[in-house]
Amino acid sequence: MVSNTSSASRPKVAAKPASPGRPKDLGKRAAILEAAKRLFSDQGFNGASMDQIAAGAGVSKLTVYSHFGDKEALFSAAVRAKCEELLPDGLFAEELKGPLREQLLAIANAFFALISSHEAISTQRMMMALGQADDPLRKLFWEAGPQRTQDAFATFLRSRIKAGELEIADVPCAARQFFALIKGDIHGRMVCGLCTLPPRNDVSAHIEATVDMFLRAYAVR
């Protein structure tokens, strides 16, 4: 289980500033994020050390701190990177790209793939295992993952409202409803270890029914 984060137990390593005008090595940054995603999901926040992440990325610990500053910032960046990997910004582009239902299905399928991934399930369990209700790690996770996704989807919904395809009085509420419906009880059961990922046909049927329900509530008739 993952214990509560303790700032006193974390090493304070001064980050080496980059030379003026010299960009960070993007290859090293990507390698660090890949190692962080893997180790945070496998060992939890406290279990994954910066030394392990550096070794997994094939860089020095000083390089990790130079890119991300501290462990909390790296965790937040790793969560965001996983979300952007499976839910890229292009899915929420404001430009109209085909039928509304097809775009909603694309977003819903990508979101379900994200929340049912090993990394997401492990991180969700880690959030549930933290010792204190106000642990700052929860806020970092929420802002980098769920909040980022809801905000991007809300922007997408507003573009479709402007196009005359949707009629929504409370856009943030509708965005939350959409993702809650996509999760359904399947996600909760997976987090609790009561089931594995259902067959693709079952997932597709669930997602299509959810999107159709959303459109019945908000599509302009």
CATH code: domain of residue 36: 1.10.10.60
State which of 69, 94, 126 marks the end of a domain.
Answer: 69
Is pLDDT larger for residue 63 or for residue 14?
A: 63
Same domain, 53 and 93: no
pLDDT: which is higher, 23 or 141: 141
Whether 64 and 94 share a structural domain: no
What is the total count of domains within the chain? 2
Task: Give the pLDDT of residue 133.
Answer: 54
Report the pLDDT value the prediction gives residue 93, as an integer from 0 to 100.
Answer: 79
pLDDT at 92: 86
Domain that holds residue 50: 24-69
pLDDT at 166: 97
- What is the mean predicted confidence (pLDDT) over 83-101? 83
What is the distance between the alpha carbons of residues 41 and 118, in angstroms, rounded to a whole number?
Answer: 7
Quick check: is 115 in a domain? Answer: yes
Please tell me whether residues 88 and 64 are part of one structural domain: no
Residue 129 covered by a domain: yes
Closest residue by Cα to residue 175 from 161, 160, 156? 156
pLDDT of the residue at 165 = 95
pLDDT (mean) for 175-199: 92
Judge if 143 and 48 occupy the same domain.
no
Do 91 and 152 belong together in one domain? yes
Helix/strand/coil for 219: strand
111 & 42 share domain: no
Question: Are 175 and 98 within one domain?
Answer: yes
193 Ramachandran zone, left/alpha/beta (phi>0; psi -120 to 50): left
Query: Whose structure tokens read 């406290």?
Result: 46
Q: In angstroms, rounded to a whole number, what is the distance separating the alpha carbons of residues 11 and 16?
A: 15
* Same domain assignment for residues 102 and 210: yes
Same domain, residue pair 195 and 126? yes
pLDDT band at 2 (very low <50, low <70, confident <90, very high): very low
pLDDT of 119 strictly over 90: no
Long-range contacts of 5-14 (CB under 8 A, 24+ apart): 5/45, 5/46, 5/72, 5/130, 5/135, 5/136, 5/137, 10/70, 10/71, 11/50, 13/50, 13/61, 13/62, 13/65, 14/65
Structure confidence at residue 134 (pLDDT): 56
* Mean pLDDT, residues 164-191: 95
More confident residue, 185 or 95: 185
- For the entire predicted model, the pTM comes to 0.79
Average pLDDT over residues 95-117: 90
Residues 167, 91, single domain; the answer is yes
Residue 74: inside a domain? no
Q: Is the pLDDT of residue 89 over 90?
A: no
φ, ψ dihedrals at 57, nearest 5°: -90, -10
Measured at the alpha carbon of residue 185, what is the angle toward residues 134 and 119, in degrees to the nearest 5?
Answer: 60
CB 141 within 8 A of CB 123: yes
- Between residues 19 and 55, which one has the greater pLDDT? 55
Q: Which of 91, 79, 78, 70 has the alpha carbon at shortest distance from 30?
A: 78
Q: Which residues contact 92 (CB under 8 A, 6 or more apart)?
A: 107, 152, 153, 155, 156
Q: pLDDT per residue over 123-149, tens digit each?
A: 888 888 776 555 788 888 888 889 999
Task: Annotate 124-171 with three-state secondary structure.
Answer: HHHHHHCCCCCCHHHHHHHHHCHHHHHHHHHHHHHHHHHCCCECCCCH
One domain, residues 97 and 153: yes
Please list the residues that pair with 219 across neighbouring strands: 166
Q: Which residue has the higher pLDDT, 217 or 17?
A: 217
Residue 96 has pLDDT above 80, yes or no: no
pLDDT at 94: 66
Tokens of 77: 């960046």
Residue 9 has pLDDT above 70, yes or no: no
CATH number of the domain that 185 lies in?
A: 1.10.357.10
Q: Dihedrals φ, ψ of 123, to 5°? A: -70, -40
47 lies in a domain?
Answer: yes
Q: Say if residue 162 is in the same domain as residue 203.
A: yes
Confidence check: pLDDT of 209 > 90: yes
